[in-house]
Structure 1
Amino acid sequence: SLACAGDVNNDGITDIIVGTSQTEHVVNDAGKAFIYSGTDGTLIREVIGLTVGDNFGWDVDGVGDLNQDGYADVIIGAPNDQGIGSVSLVSGLDGSTIHYILGMESLSFFGKSVSGLNDIDDDGIEDFIVGAPSEDNTGSNSGAARLYSGATAVLIRTHLGAGLTDGLGGAVARLGDADGDQVGDYAIGAGGSDVTFPNAGAVYVYSGLTGTEIFHDYGSESGEQLGIAVSFAGDIDSDGRADVIAGAWKSDAGGTDMGEVLAYSGASGAILYSLVSSVAGFGFSLDYAGDVNSDNRPDFLVGAPLTSGGVPPGGAAYVYSSSCSNPIVYGAGCPGTGGYVPSLSLQGCGIPGTSVQVLISNGLGNAPSLIIVGPDQVDLPLGAGCVLLTFPFLQIQGVALDANGSFQITAPLPISPGITEIFLQAFVIDSGGQKGYSATNGVQLLLEQ
């Protein structure tokens, strides 16, 4: 595990904390955390787990200056401590323990995920959140995430998984202000959620001020494990609100188990875009990267631990810019058989001469369909709740959905100075629809010039 630690040595530069949860310096798998200077990379200090199998350092983060001594402090998770799990809040000044919290249930994996938070309880000191994805409160491995006061370690609030094997709290993250109330918010992943499909996963974003849900999203396919990782993403859509990224490392969007990363508007929960890859396990880990390429746009890191890179098991990390023009979902579709509304999505950036992935899902199995592409967005009612969302037509492409009601194609983007944006929508021939068809949402893609 790896995170920014804040300015631990008080030299004005942010330092780094690294967790090695299976280090055997004292006893087997006790674990360690190392804090390194952001100035020159020298080791500031190491903090050592003391008990067999603690896995101390499984996750780490900076938590601000909890004891108000002028030095940034850190949080370190040990999810197997005493067979329960724990977190330690450690002084940046001298490495002493400020707070130690033991989980509430055996085998809960408390401390598997940790994150500093903004000042949730308004006492002037940053707070923190801890995930326990194997707690059994609402069913076996339903999971939990708990927020604590950084000043006193008193429990502020608890979020519980919705049901059996949800694994809520497998990932947690500090966000900025997503809902515009001037208080920082936070995200929680539940990679095992079965709300839509088995192990499809879920991501939830909550108000730091009240703890109420701002938005959620559920995985769109069985086994993709959306929410295995969550992170702050900066302000991707430039609306003044914090945005969110979430990983679905087993998504088949780019190939079997290749993985996917979804970027969400913090204000609305709308999917701003998705990234797919041809490398296995893409999206297993995520982090905000600041502005790496100096374009005044947020960038972020994506980990893919199953990628061999020619040297199995290898693994890889990628840095992505959010500055490209990404697909924007607009409008709403209308239902067909069984009340199911098909969905249209694009994956990729609006760079002429490159390609994007066009995906239809949730349609009628084996049904013929039409994908229409136009230069303008319209809102033309067709009756029975169906709406035409683009006109006139630049292109109409006939396709056939598979048995699961899905279709995917790689589509080249035109190189034409006269075309600055395109709009897409799909119609599925479906006798279960009131008009004999169902329709998708629309997708807008700005083309960079």
Structure 2
Amino acid sequence: MNIPSTRSPRWLFCCAAAFLSFALLTQSATAQGEHIKSNLLHEIWGVAGGEGVGTTTAVLGDLNADGYDDIAIGAPGAYSYAGAVYVYSGATGDLLLELTGVNYGDTFGASIAPLADINSDGFADIAVGAPNSANGYGEVYFISGYDGATLFQTHANGQTLDQYGFSIANVGDLDFDGFDEVLIGAHGTNANNGAAYVVSPANGTTMFTLLGAITEGYFGISVSGTGDANGDLTGDFVIGAYGANSFSGKAYLYSGSDASALHEFTGLNTEDYLGSAVAAAGDLNQDGYADLFIGAMGENDFAGVVYAHSGFDGSPIAEFRGWYAGDSLGSAIAMVGDADGDGVDDFLLGAPGYDQTRGAASLYSGATASLLDYYTGYSRGDYFGWSIAPAGDYDGRLHADFIIGAPGADSETGADSGYFQAWSLWSPILNPSSYEMSAAQGGVVFYGLDFPWEAGWGAYQLVVNLAGPGNTRWNGLDLPLKNDGLLQSTIAGDVPGPCLGFAGILDGYGDGMAAIWVPGGLPAGMVGTTYWLAAVGGQIGGVWDFGSWANPLTINP
């Protein structure tokens, strides 16, 4: 192998044999997916019975200027169902704001949508639904993220029990005025035929009104933006109508340009409840157009199914099925960003009926559709997974985090106080002591190897590339790295002469240690270079059975 000297930014690694013991900063998930661990970042409970904390969850912008996005949690049962939204620091979990409904029974906080800065004060704002306010007409409040002041509120001038604001979603800037529009569902309109409204946060005016055409279709029970599904450079949106056709359900994809219908999706059987949840799906089939998820929580005896469809032509892409009758998978769906570090956004599916309403949520890879991890509530009646949301990166591991709500959980303060959790998924296989190194000072980065115990006394190897996260097949395993010359060199085991630690034998627990040592005084041209590492393991002489995800190491000044 021809490896340039450390004067070149292509290669700087010299592995030193090292033995270092350090604590792994993690807690295991309540229930773990195979070979994956997750770190519980925050768990916050309601302070009174009946609050239903975690009924809705959303991540806002950075409201307290600490560099981390903050968390909004809906508790529509708080204060005798006046309702509340609690805004917490994403970094510390401290309470930043408490927003409350105006009157008993408003159920303020039944829905939440994050907004960009609509009042030009430099802070992200928030929209909150109160679907039972004004005798069930419903209202949506547009609120300052800086101080919690109401900027304005909207309603539909409809009728009692319209439930305007039961569902809301940020659908992007449809009119290119610099403000993201809000899609508001009112599933009770016209005796449960339903309606939905696209509202501009610039002035509160309604841009589009869409009316459900099916008797008791509950059109607007769920709403979401999807991104650009039809290639017209404007974001589109999807609306669920789970009551249509004797609750077989429907979902409709609309153009954000003119609200024209693009595709219609229909449940297979009576009481499938297709449209129980809808969500953006990124570009799952890599055709350049946005795709979408549709939940059918009632399908297969309420085991539930989540369908992924092409936004461009409506064709099916994939489906995900609940494990057991009553799981109600498809009650909540969210893209959560890149949780596993492979460069592709992943997604979380809620199943609040799992294990007789203990509840669960499953995290899937957006690249492979494989299960990354799953999480469960503590007790039956928690309804864990009722709400889910992305959460940015709170722990600095450079992977997306996420939030799961459990509004039915009981505590010492009372029944149905509820709680939410913020989680970080991270690989236990390759744990770096740092993600960066100084070119001027050099130093050592240690890599703790923590394979599953099944890998004990097996072989391991670390590999490196410069091309970044991706997918390269090697010896029975998909590496989370793009193929390049550096990767092929390290696959071949060709590393600098005196260096040790990039390949070896694990101990009986599947653990080991490697290190990267870099002398100081690296060339200035190396500053800003990022190397990506991954580790693989398996039985000696066999195929690789286990692999980490990509871990970056960036050279700073």
Tell me how far 1:13 sits from its aligned partner.
Answer: 4.1
| TM alignment of 1:97-112, pairs within 5 A | 97-112=206-221
Tell me how far 1:90 sits from its aligned partner.
Answer: 0.8
Tell me how far 1:151 sits from its aligned partner.
Answer: 1.6
Q: How far apart in 2 are the matches of 1:321 and 1:273?
A: 11
Tell me how far 1:239 sits from its aligned partner.
Answer: 2.8
- CA contact under 8 A between 1:324 and 1:351: conserved in structure 2? no
Q: How far apart in 2 are the matches of 1:173 and 1:323?
A: 24
1:146 paired with 2:246, answer: no
Between the two proteins, the alignment pairs up a number of residues equal to 349
Q: Aligned to 1:314, which of 403, 417, 427?
A: 417
The code of the aligned residue for 1:272 comes to L
Query: Which residue of the partner structure matches residue 333 of structure 1?
Result: none
The code of the aligned residue for 1:299 comes to D
Tell me how far 1:199 sits from its aligned partner.
Answer: 0.9
SS of 1:38's partner is coil
The code of the aligned residue for 2:279 comes to A
Compare relative contact order (CA 8 Å, sep 6+) and give the higher one, 1 or 2. 2
| TM alignment of 1:78-157, pairs within 5 A | 78-83=186-191, 84-136=193-245, 140-157=246-263
- CA contact under 8 A between 1:113 and 1:131: conserved in structure 2? yes
SS of 1:82's partner is helix
SS of 2:197's partner is strand
Per-residue Cα deviation, 1:357-391 (whole angstroms, up to 9, x for no partner): xxxxxxxxxxxxxx9876659xxxxxxxxxxx9xx
Tell me how far 1:321 sits from its aligned partner.
Answer: 0.9
Q: How far apart in 2 are the matches of 1:39 and 1:30?
A: 28
Q: How far apart in 1 are the matches of 2:283 and 2:123?
A: 24
Query: Which residue of the partner structure matches residue 395 of structure 1?
Result: none
Query: Which residue of the partner structure matches residue 291 of structure 1?
Result: 393
Q: How far apart in 2 are the matches of 1:42 and 1:281?
A: 32
Q: Aligned to 1:225, which of 328, 335, 345?
A: 328
Query: Which residue of the partner structure matches residue 95 of structure 2?
Result: none
Q: How far apart in 2 are the matches of 1:286 and 1:213?
A: 24
Gaps of 5+ in 2: 1-110, 430-447, 460-475, 477-507, 515-534, 550-557
Q: How far apart in 2 are the matches of 1:231 and 1:15?
A: 20
Tell me how far 1:277 sits from its aligned partner.
Answer: 2.8
1:273 paired with 2:373, answer: yes
Q: Name the CA shift for 1:193/1:60 in 2 (closer, same or farther; >3 Å).
A: same
Tell me how far 1:296 sits from its aligned partner.
Answer: 1.4
- CA contact under 8 A between 2:338 and 2:344: conserved in structure 1? yes
Identical residues among aligned pairs (%): 33
SS of 2:422's partner is strand
Tell me how far 1:158 sits from its aligned partner.
Answer: 1.0
Per-residue Cα deviation, 1:404-430 (whole angstroms, up to 9, x for no partner): xxxxxxxxx959547998889xxxxxx
Q: How far apart in 2 are the matches of 1:316 and 1:422?
A: 38
Q: How far apart in 1 are the matches of 2:316 and 2:240?
A: 17
Higher helix share: 2
Q: Name the CA shift for 1:210/1:187 in 2 (closer, same or farther; >3 Å).
A: same
TM-score (structure 1 length as normaliser): 0.70
Q: How far apart in 2 are the matches of 1:304 and 1:29?
A: 25
SS of 1:240's partner is coil
Query: Which residue of the partner structure matches residue 524 of structure 2?
Result: none
Per-residue Cα deviation, 1:316-349 (whole angstroms, up to 9, x for no partner): 11111122449xxxxxxxxxxxxxxxxxxxxxxx
The code of the aligned residue for 1:108 comes to G
Q: How far apart in 2 are the matches of 1:417 and 1:351?
A: 5
Q: Name the CA shift for 1:372/1:291 in 2 (closer, same or farther; >3 Å).
A: closer
- RMSD across aligned C-alpha pairs, in angstroms? 3.3
The code of the aligned residue for 1:151 comes to S
Q: Name the CA shift for 1:45/1:423 in 2 (closer, same or farther; >3 Å).
A: farther
Q: Name the CA shift for 1:57/1:262 in 2 (closer, same or farther; >3 Å).
A: same
